[in-house]
Structure 1
Amino acid sequence: MNTVERHKKIIDKINQEGQVKSQVLCDELDVSSVTIRKDLKFLEEKGMLYRMHGGATLNNPYATDRHVSEKEKMNLSEKMMIGSAAAKLVTANDSILIASGTTVLALAKSIKPLENLTVITSALNVALELNKHLEIEVIQLAGILRKRSSSVTGMYAEGNLHDFSCTKLFLGVDGIDLEFGLTTANVMEARLNREMIKVSQKTIVLADSSKFGKRGFGRICGFDNIDEIITDSKISNFTKSELEEFGIKVTIV
């Protein structure tokens, strides 16, 4: 097999599967890892794939810190379905924690007023949405306001959390990578998210399928800290199976 034929095989495989592992390519094409690294580097320079640790992917694996007004227009129908499914997990007498993000905002819009529901949140837009309901007590965390996300971060917000014990955390993320874990584009937000996990009995991640295979700058945690992920039907069977291997419940809407 010459170089052109090998490159075609690589492109065909990545178009079919979305991402490929270097070792799999070595085995299937019967070439060395050095040859595959050169192939992937060449194809990346041609704009045909993105290299990542241990292989390559069809989509850009790096999440950017977009403004909330831009993010809320992306995958809107998927986010609303995810938010609606997550809202069904909220029960009377719950004390829940809602992080920041446009998918968790969709959750806030779907929550029906329940008796003795307390919501703690870092997100101003979530707080304002839930404050419309007299039946919901809203606690807004203090901290440094991030204009790009309309949410707070920093030591004041982290310190506030030490006074609470929550039944559930609903967490939005910018990236879910099977090797690197859960990430967000802002490192201060990632740190606050880790503190949220510590004070919650159960962590539920709300993420549309575009978040899989991506990495943000700030790592939140690995998969051992996550109980459930709610996503849409575009998630691959491979990714779903891998997440379930970690003991995570994957709910598809």
Structure 2
Amino acid sequence: MTSTERHQLILEKLHQEGDLNVISLYKELRVSRVTIRKDLKLLEEKGLLFRTHGGATLKNPYTIDRPVNEKEKLQSGEKSKIGAAAARLIDDNDSIIIASGTTVLALAKKIQNKKNLTVITASLNVALELLQQPDIEVLQLGGILRKTSSSVTGPYAQSILADFSCTKLFLGVDGIDLEFGLSTTSAMEAHLNRQMIEASQKVIVLSDSTKFGKRGFGKICGLDKVDRIITDAGISEHFVKQLENLGIEVTVV
């Protein structure tokens, strides 16, 4: 097989699966890992793919921080459906954590007619939304205000979480990568999210499909910490299978 034929096959597989890893490529093509890495580097230089740790993807894997009012306009219909599906998982008498982000805000807007529900949140917008519900007790975490997400971070918020044990955490993220795990654009927010995970019995990630295969600056945790992911139909079947193989329940709305 010539290098041109090899490059064509790599691109065809990448378009079919969305992402590839070096190990499977060198085994299938019967060439060395060094050769595959050189192939991927050349294809990246031509703007045909993005290299990742151990492989390649079609989409730029690195996400950037955006103001919350800008993010609200992105995939708003998908986020609303994700929020509605997540709201159905909340029971009366639950004690839950809702993190920060526009997708978990969509969840807050869908919570209706729940009795004796306690919500701990880092998001100012989530707290303001839930204040309209008479049977929901809201505990707003305090700390350093992160203006781009209208949420708090820092050691004070983390110390408060040490005193609680909640049934469910609804977590929004900036990136979901099979190797890197869950991530966000803020290292301080990532650390707070880890404390939320420790304080929760079940971790439910709410993410629109554009976040898959992406990486933010701050790693939250590996995918082994995740119980369930709720997303939209834009996610590839290949990614769903990979997540389910890790024991994660995936709900596609």
TM range (shorter): over 0.9
CA shift, 1:28, in A, is 3.1
1:189 aligns with 2:195: no
CA contact (8 A) 1:100 1:171 kept: yes
SS state at 1:7 partner: helix
What are the Cα deviations for residues 112-159 of structure 1, in whole angstroms up to 9, with x where unaligned?
A: 032111111000111111112222211110000001111000011111
CA shift, 1:53, in A, is 1.2
CA contact (8 A) 2:191 2:220 kept: yes
2:87 matched residue in structure 1: 87
TM-score normalised by the chain length of structure 1:
0.95
TM-score normalised by the chain length of structure 2:
0.95
RMSD: 1.4
> Gaps spanning 5+ residues in structure 1: where?
none
2:120 matched residue in structure 1: 120
Q: Where do 1:44-63 residues align within 5 Å?
A: 44-63=44-63
Q: Where do 1:75-114 residues align within 5 Å?
A: 75-114=75-114
1:252 aligns with 2:252: yes
CA contact (8 A) 1:113 1:136 kept: no
2:226 matched residue in structure 1: 226
Q: Which runs of 4 or more aligned residues in structure 1 lie more than 3 Å from their structure 2 counterparts after TM superposition? A: none
1:161 aligns with 2:161: yes
Q: Provide the rounded CA distance (Å) in 1 between the counterparts of 2:245 and 2:33.
A: 28
Supply the AA of the counterpart residue of 2:62.
Answer: Y
Q: Provide the rounded CA distance (Å) in 2 between the counterparts of 1:27 and 1:166.
A: 45
Q: How many residues matched?
A: 253
> Gaps spanning 5+ residues in structure 2: where?
none
Q: Provide the rounded CA distance (Å) in 1 between the counterparts of 2:88 and 2:72.
A: 22
SS state at 1:115 partner: coil
2:34 matched residue in structure 1: 34
CA contact (8 A) 1:80 1:107 kept: yes
What are the Cα deviations for residues 1-26 of structure 1, in whole angstroms up to 9, with x where unaligned?
A: 33323222222221222111222222
Q: Provide the rounded CA distance (Å) in 1 between the counterparts of 2:177 and 2:219.
A: 10
CA shift, 1:240, in A, is 1.8
Identify the range of structure 1 (216-225 vs 183-192) with the bigger mean alpha-carbon deviation. 216-225
Supply the AA of the counterpart residue of 1:90.
Answer: I
CA contact (8 A) 1:141 1:160 kept: yes
Identify the range of structure 1 (129-138 vs 26-35) with the bigger mean alpha-carbon deviation. 26-35
1:204 aligns with 2:196: no
Q: Provide the rounded CA distance (Å) in 1 between the counterparts of 2:3 and 2:247.
A: 41
SS state at 1:35 partner: helix
What are the Cα deviations for residues 182-222 of structure 1, in whole angstroms up to 9, with x where unaligned?
A: 11111100100011111112111111121111111111111
SS state at 1:113 partner: coil
